[in-house]
Amino acid sequence: MNERWRDAVRTVHGVESKYKRLVKAIAADIESSALASGARLPPQREVATDLAISVQTVTNAYKELERQGLIRCEVGRGSFVAARVTETMSKYMLDTAEREVIDFSIARIVHTPEHDAMWRKVCATLATIDDQPWIRACRPIAGLEHHRQAGAAWLASLNMPANPETLLITNGAAHGIFLALASFVGPGDTVLCESLTDHGVIGSANVLGFTLKGLDIDECGIRPEHFEEMCDSERVSALVCTPTLNNPTVALMPDSRRRAIARIAERYGVYVIEDDVYGALPAKTQTPIASLIPELSFYCTSMTKSVLTGLRIGYLTMPRRLALRAESVLRVSSWAATSPMAEVATRWIMDGTAQHLVAVQRERLTTRQAMVREVLSAREPSAGLIGVAEGAGLLASGPRDARVAQARNCRDIAGSLPRGRRRTAERGALMRCRRGQRSHLQSCA
């Protein structure tokens, strides 16, 4: 048995209990890689005998290590050193350095000279203002009052009534989802999501230690029957979902299904965390599920996918009883959102720039979608995917993996066309991608 563990339980440090000392010793071994990722820990009874301590002390130590995410205990198999967060996260970390290869992996808006012009304009205006509380104030943590009011107005335009008192300014939507999850779920909780979902949710599960389970989806998103089945068969804490332009499928959930999901959530008391990061993009504003069950929902969106990529400002609403909890998580995670950025978002919402840039986005995407439709219409297999995208009124706004698939389709299809059409298709769509404009089909226009 490990000498360090023995020393740890023998050496008294103030009033620190034995099990905590054992936790520290095992954690140190994991930290130093003396216990490698995946290594099996000795059985609890063996450790107890060897260290001359009770089995309960060892059990408590293993439980605490599991709670901290350092080990995982599998019934009938034993306890194993968990993969490090960085190891498990790395496969979801898509933000690698820019390369020659065209990167289809990140969903981003079409950036135009107008975006640059608007940014320069707001920066010039800010430079002339004497009194700038957004660079001085470090409270309120939830965000300055006028920032929250603008956020509530933005949410209202997305059919999500919001009270500035239960609205937090966040650094983007991913941050908002994390805050929502960290407010009430942890190890031992089960959270449901679409079986194909944004990698951020998977990363949150790794960090917070909850169990993430995927629900069956079709071209309209989550199948309510499966949601109900899961709620019926196990204790579900929350559902995280993206009903509008799911990433990666681009599915747009129809109204009737949103209502069905809301009813089930209500019946089983399951919180819904709605990610509406693409909510501003469809021509017709949808009904957020969260607006149907506000007392059981978190709703988040941001500026990054509809207004400006670098404007990492998001808005998160929640039931009043969880507002303080969510604000506490915001405080420990980043104190508050970046206030000067929130000021830009506020000005743009109030003077119509944000709405204008969304309209620019919609128009660009419609053009690109028409182009992609023309290229892909030559072949049947892509019809389903394109059909979904067309339902949303968008294609290229869409989510990463769907676009990757579409781009691959696009390339395959072009390769299979008769020579004349192939040249047209390639000239019209694919070659421009290859010329090095970063990104996806958005860049094919």
The answer for residues whose C-beta is within 8 angstroms of residue 409's C-beta and 6 or more apart is: 376, 379, 381, 382, 385
The window from 167-175, 342-350, 402-410, 418-426 that contacts ligand PLP (CB under 6 A) reads 167-175
- Least distance from ligand PLP to the Cβ atom of residue 20, Å: 37
Specify whether the CB–CB gap between 196 and 401 falls below 8 A. Answer: yes
Q: Does 143 bind ligand PLP (CB under 6 A)?
A: no
E strand spans, 167-210: 167-170, 190-194
The window from 130-138, 149-157, 170-178, 379-387 that contacts ligand PLP (CB under 6 A) reads 170-178
Neighbours of 47 (CB within 10 A): 24
Alpha-carbon span 174 to 302, nearest angstrom: 9
Site for ligand PLP (CB under 6 A): which residue of 51, 174, 262, 414? 174
Task: Tell the residue number behind the tokens 């140190």, with chain if given.
Answer: 28
By C-beta, is 61 or 280 nearer to ligand PLP? Answer: 280
By C-beta, is 24 or 258 nearer to ligand PLP? Answer: 258
Alpha-carbon span 207 to 59, nearest angstrom: 23
Tokens of 432: 């421009």
Q: Does 172 bind ligand PLP (CB under 6 A)?
A: yes
Specify whether the CB–CB gap between 26 and 35 falls below 8 A. Answer: yes
x/- site string to ligand PLP, residues 302 to 341, per CB under 6 A?
x-x---------x---------------------------
Secondary element (H or E) of residue 115: helix 113-127
- Least distance from ligand PLP to the Cβ atom of residue 239, Å: 14
Neighbours of 431 (CB within 10 A): 13
Q: Answer left, alpha or beta for residue 91, where phi above 0 means left and psi between -120 and 50 means alpha.
A: alpha
Name which of residues 183 to 202 contact ligand PLP (CB under 6 A): 198, 200
Q: Does 275 bind ligand PLP (CB under 6 A)?
A: yes
Count of residues engaged in binding ligand PLP, rule: CB under 6 A: 14
The answer for residues whose C-beta is within 8 angstroms of residue 185's C-beta and 6 or more apart is: 191, 208, 210, 237, 238
By C-beta, is 173 or 410 nearer to ligand PLP? Answer: 173
- Least distance from ligand PLP to the Cβ atom of residue 315, Å: 10
x/- site string to ligand PLP, residues 397 to 436, per CB under 6 A?
--x-------------------------------------
- Least distance from ligand PLP to the Cβ atom of residue 44, Å: 41
By C-beta, is 60 or 443 nearer to ligand PLP? Answer: 443
- Least distance from ligand PLP to the Cβ atom of residue 400, Å: 6
Q: Does 369 bind ligand PLP (CB under 6 A)?
A: no
The answer for residues whose C-beta is within 8 angstroms of residue 316's C-beta and 6 or more apart is: 167, 168, 170, 176, 179, 180, 298, 299, 300, 326
| Strand-strand pairing, 271-275 and 238-241 | parallel
Helix 320-334, helix 173-184: angle, nearest 10: 120
By C-beta, is 236 or 316 nearer to ligand PLP? Answer: 316
Q: Does 247 bind ligand PLP (CB under 6 A)?
A: yes
Name which of residues 94 to 133 contact ligand PLP (CB under 6 A): 107
The window from 39-47, 172-180, 184-192, 369-377 that contacts ligand PLP (CB under 6 A) reads 172-180
Q: Output the CA torsion 82→83→89→91 (10° steps).
A: -140
- Least distance from ligand PLP to the Cβ atom of residue 31, Å: 30
Closest CA to 301 of 262, 245, 353, 356: 245
- Least distance from ligand PLP to the Cβ atom of residue 129, Å: 26
Tokens of 100: 């020659």
x/- site string to ligand PLP, residues 201 to 240, per CB under 6 A?
----------------------------------------
**Which chain residues interact with ligand PLP by CB under 6 A?**
107, 172-174, 198, 200, 242, 247, 275, 277, 302, 304, 314, 399
